[in-house]
Amino acid sequence: MSSSTLRVRWTIVPAIAPRPLINCNRCGGVRPYRCSEKFRVNANGKRIDVWLIYRCAVCDNSWNFAIFERRNRRDIEPALLTALESNDPALVCRYAFDGAMLRSRAGRIEEYPDVMVHKERLGSEPGGAMAIRLELRLHNSTPLRLDRLLAGELGISRSKLQGWEERKRLSIERDGTRALRKPVRDGLTVRIDLAEEADRSAVLSAAHG
């Protein structure tokens, strides 16, 4: 890889947890439910059930997001069980942001494109860099499109990104088709050739700033 390429890792973390859409028997219609940040642990002999409690955003009716069902106590690590019983915030976050698991239980969910991006330069900053190589790491899923992420973080327009792609100045490893218009995926690598760009310095700064 050329020494004139700035390598940066972006770690992308969704900022708002997805919300299940549940048919609320109190409201009489489908409503979004918010996470209460509390687990319910029910022990029946050697069997344990664990749910993360959600509340209707309108009437506060409850819905149980099943984490474990009829699980043998011996199959649950003691530290995990303690964290569940104490409503450990990190564990709540882990399950609340697991959109795939939540969708499998609820059927439909609302997801939000808001994210936080941590930027880490890999290696020393090359003098006079002419290109950027972005390694994208994603914590949980997001509906945020790749073009919106890049445009927002690099301070450029989406039409400019499209132009770069058309002129082969932007490439995406393992991209498939129309990757710019698809949600961000973990493990993508984006390379942008900035050699002919008048605002190269500003884009480079934004990439790792």
Average of per-residue pLDDT across 173-193: 84
pLDDT in tens, 67-76: 999 999 889 9
Domain limits, the chain: 5-15+113-208, 19-110
- Distance (Å, rounded) from C-alpha 115 to C-alpha 183? 12
Which residue from 8, 10, 9, 16 is spatially nearest to 115, judged by alpha carbons?
Answer: 16
Average of per-residue pLDDT across 16-21: 95
Average of per-residue pLDDT across 166-174: 88
Determine contact, residues 152/193, Cβ cutoff 8 Å.
Answer: no
What are the angstrom distances between the C-alpha of 152 and each of 14, 61, 86, 170? 15, 37, 38, 16
**pLDDT higher than threshold 70 for residue 177:** no
Which residue from 66, 20, 62 is spatially nearest to 42, judged by alpha carbons?
Answer: 66
**pLDDT higher than threshold 50 for residue 1:** no
> CB count, 10 Å around CB of 206?
16
The pairing of strands 189-193 and 131-138 is: antiparallel
**With the CA atoms of 99, 105, 107 and 109 taken in that order, what torsion angle do they form, in degrees rounded to the nearest 10?**
-30
**pLDDT higher than threshold 90 for residue 209:** no
pLDDT in tens, 119-155: 999 977 667 789 999 999 998 888 999 999 999 999 9
178-181: list long-range contacts, CB under 8 Å, 24+ apart. 179/146, 180/145, 180/146, 180/147, 180/150, 181/145, 181/146, 181/147
